[in-house]
Structure 1
Amino acid sequence: MTALTASAPAARALAGIALLIAATACFAVLDTTVKLVGAVVSVLLVIWFRYLFHAVAMTAWLLPRRGRSALRTAHPRFQLLRGALLLSLSLMGFVALQRMPVGEFTAILMFTPLAVTLMGATVLRERVSAGQWLLVAGGFAGVLLVVRPGGGDIGWASALPLAMVLLSAWFQILTARMARTEDPMTMHFYTGWVGALVTSALLPLVWQAIPDGRTLGLLVLVGIAGTVGHLLLIMAYQRAPASTLSPYLYSQIAFAMAFGWLVFGHVPGAVELAGTALIVLCGALSGWRTARGHLPIRPPED
């Protein structure tokens, strides 16, 4: 009985890790598609379509099943704040992607997991073992190999993902905190409508017709990838603490580099590949430690 009880937290953590990795794959698809379609239509139109798809899809699925209970929330101000943070991240990210390769953009954003771990230890009072710190540091070293500060010519656009690191860390911590008391579907519902309403108010300033069916298909893919990715993110943080999940956020670099090569022909160099290998190794070791029960896993606080 004791062994079964002890294995339950580890099983939940592994489920959270799997959900998070799936979410990072969705985000890499989102970024790649945004870069493609952003060359044809305005960034604000892309963001509007992404959030409108999100809001309409969640409303059509959720309200018939739950009615008004889907709108109940203990923290409406936090719902609005979370939606505003995600919209701000989308705007900065979509602009940066038009001026940077997907892999480099993602690599800079991977400064975020270290910030999340620090906040997880201080803000959420999560226990962080020495092994976790070492694995996060190893993944961070891999990120530095990918980014190679001073070794490239990304220009002013790199300031946008650097600013996103701070916002993204707070967004993830807020998501982890809210997921303890809020229904994930309700969170997803409000996030979509905050973005849809704000961008709808601004859309007349940049409205343009969608030129062809291919562009429309790419916009639909943006909506699907964004909606599914953030739902998976919420579900992941329901199952494991931020400090356990943070090393696996690095997996988005591998997805981004692969899609950048397949879609844009951007081939990472030997240094970038070495950095990616280090990130993957640290993630695999962290997963092994979790499966062996070496990582401290505790249930969410009330």
Structure 2
Amino acid sequence: MGTAAIARPAVMVSPASYKPAQAALGIGFLVLATACFAVLDTTVKYVGAFVPVLMAVWFRYMFQAVLVTAVMLPVRGRGLLRTEHPRFQLLRGTLLLTVSALSFVALQYMPVGEFTAIVMITPLVVTLLAALFLRERVTALRWALVVGGFSGALLVVQPGGDVIGWASLLPLVMVFTYAWFQILTSKMARTEDPITMHFYTGWVGALVSSLALPLVWQAIPDATAFALLCLIGLMGTVGHFLLILAFARTQASTLTPYLYGQIGFAMFCGWLVFGHVPGRFELIGIALIVLCGATASWITARDRRLPVEQPEA
């Protein structure tokens, strides 16, 4: 995800501490982060042709775990490990690992741009789950945006398109799983440090995926393949830190529209590497997802309700 998506951090600047002069810097960090995610997804799709998907998932999380530990442990010391909810850290890391595995597999069956567009309906799914399970009040406008976003997703994953059979369900299952991850993150953010959460996310993903790694491990074909696997880990880790920097400097309502720039980057990378150009109906669906998702995310950020993260891989 970027899902490959990497998650939007829980830390966000408060309106009281917001400085307009930092807005451009925050937007710049966010745009760079979405570019990282597009490169991540494109690389995952390319590498999947000659490396098992689970190996790519393991590299992604092991790279993050080692890098975050090497950089932050000398700075934070034991404070980096301090958490009030270790069980929730384990659950959160497992949910995100599941999201990454589903997204890595889904990318083998569908174009990068269309996959990224479907990921962007996650804020709408958060609204749906919050209404059904958390009893959050949802206005008629929000329900209309949810319906519009899902309609766009159906146009992207259409009968006779590039995604057929069971594979067409993967991105939708991934989005619902990621929505639960976001809801859990929004609750944990009240007591947990975002860097500590990032630390545990990396190690939970690395250790859990290591359990199944012997079943799929194979020799890495060449140095190029190894470099691409490292690139997956690097793009995910750097993208996440860029998001932390962006949301620590700029209000979510300002940044939200720029999150959807990831679709543009993904479509460009898909064309550049695979020569794929979305069809007419896919483009209509993508536009509908962007319109409904961006509007819903902006309303959420404005009302300061459930924090909504943008995808990780």
Q: 1:66 aligns with which of 53, 76, 99?
A: 76
Other-structure match for 2:269 = 259
Task: Answer yes or no: is 1:214 the counterpart of 2:224.
Answer: yes
Q: Work out which of the two has the higher radius of gyration on C-alpha atoms and give 1 or 2.
A: 1
Pair 133,9 (structure 1): closer, same or farther in 2 beyond 3 Å: farther
Q: Deviations over 1:96-134 (max 9, x none)?
A: 222222233333333322111234567678776766666
Instruction: For 2:306 and 2:280, locate their aligned partners in 1 and report how far apart those are by CA, in whole Å.
Output: 41
Q: Deviations over 1:244-270 (max 9, x none)?
A: 987766544333222211111011122
For the Cα contact (< 8 Å) 2:131–2:138, is it kept in 1? yes
Structure 1 position 25, deviation (Å): 3.5
Q: 2:159 aligns with which of 150, 162, 177?
A: 150
Structure 1: gaps (5+ residues): none
Q: SS of the counterpart of 1:89?
A: helix
| CA RMSD, 1 decimal | 4.0
Task: Answer yes or no: is 1:92 the counterpart of 2:99.
Answer: no
Q: Deviations over 1:126-145 (max 9, x none)?
A: 77676666666655554444
For the Cα contact (< 8 Å) 2:156–2:282, is it kept in 1? yes
Instruction: For 2:139 and 2:238, locate their aligned partners in 1 and report how far apart those are by CA, in whole Å.
Output: 31
Instruction: For 1:22 and 1:140, locate their aligned partners in 2 and report how far apart those are by CA, in whole Å.
Output: 28
Comparing 80-89 and 171-180, the one that deviates more: 171-180
Other-structure match for 1:192 = 202
Q: Aligned letter for 2:303?
A: P
Structure 2: gaps (5+ residues): 1-13, 308-313
Instruction: For 1:108 and 1:136, locate their aligned partners in 2 and report how far apart those are by CA, in whole Å.
Output: 13
Q: Aligned letter for 2:159?
A: G
Structure 1 position 47, deviation (Å): 1.1
TM alignment of 1:49-128, pairs within 5 A: 49-120=59-130
TM-score (norm 2): 0.75
Q: Aligned letter for 2:213?
A: L
Q: Deviations over 1:146-202 (max 9, x none)?
A: 33x335252221122221121010011112222222111100100111111122232
TM-score (norm 1): 0.78
Q: Which structure has more helix as a fraction of its residues?
A: 1
Instruction: For 2:182 and 2:67, locate their aligned partners in 1 and report how far apart those are by CA, in whole Å.
Output: 23
Q: SS of the counterpart of 2:303?
A: coil
Q: SS of the counterpart of 2:270?
A: helix
Other-structure match for 1:167 = 177
For the Cα contact (< 8 Å) 1:254–1:276, is it kept in 2? no
Instruction: For 1:232 and 1:80, locate their aligned partners in 2 and report how far apart those are by CA, in whole Å.
Output: 24
